[in-house]
Amino acid sequence: MKKTKLELAAEELKKGKFVIILDSPTREKEADLVIHASFATKEVIKKLRKEAGGLICLVTDKKNATELGLEYLHKKLKNLKGVYEKLAIEKTPYKDSPAFSIYINSRECYTGITDEDRAKTAKEFEKILSLKPKIKQKEFTKRFYSPGHLPILIAKDLKQRKGHSEFSIALAKLAGLSPAMLICEMLSDSGKAKSFKEVKRYAKKNGIMLVEEKDF
């Protein structure tokens, strides 16, 4: 039986390769370069930084976020007084609720922003997810600190939200990998999001599997 595009993309992830995810043209109109966090190296972070160019984020699912004691940042801000409460938004301009939680660094990092430091944070975070729920939160606070330089995004179910966070986690689970993905928006030299035409040309030139919202 012929494999679907998603199955082929999942196989690429398992091999430690990059995949590109395009969201809906009616949503962000953006492409993200993604890879599983277990394969994070300084070379991987460099590629995301230089060839994607957006914000490098670490994505996990709601179940693991809850076990780690993490919540959506906008909800925490709403509970604070003053400027924090006023800055918090429930919906983005493209009508989704924000996926952001806190920014973290591994306690083994120095500044946290170098390619090596961010790779270390991502890889260490992925390892945390395999721990038993009872000790997961304790180990999380022991091994990481915040504020840091790698933002955590909490993916919802695809039925609730159809963003790059959700697509990347769905792909990780299809590959049989832990819900820990590194994602980064792809920007053009103009500073705007790469057009889908530019992204498809890049994917073909670099031999990177590309999947779209309609494939999920």
Catalytically active residues are 32, 57, 94, 105, 149, 185
- CA triple 19-53-92, angle to 5 deg: 85
- Is residue 181 within 8 Å of residue 115, measured between CB atoms? no
Half-sphere exposure of 197 (CA within 13 A, CB side): 0
Separation CA 53–CA 34 (nearest Å): 12
Q: Phi and psi of 59, rounded to 5°?
A: -110, 140
Separation CA 196–CA 203 (nearest Å): 10
Closest Cα partner for 93 from 2, 166, 28?
Answer: 28
Is 211 buried (19+), middle (13-18) or exposed (0-12) by CB count in 10 A? Answer: buried
- Is residue 106 within 8 Å of residue 113, measured between CB atoms? no
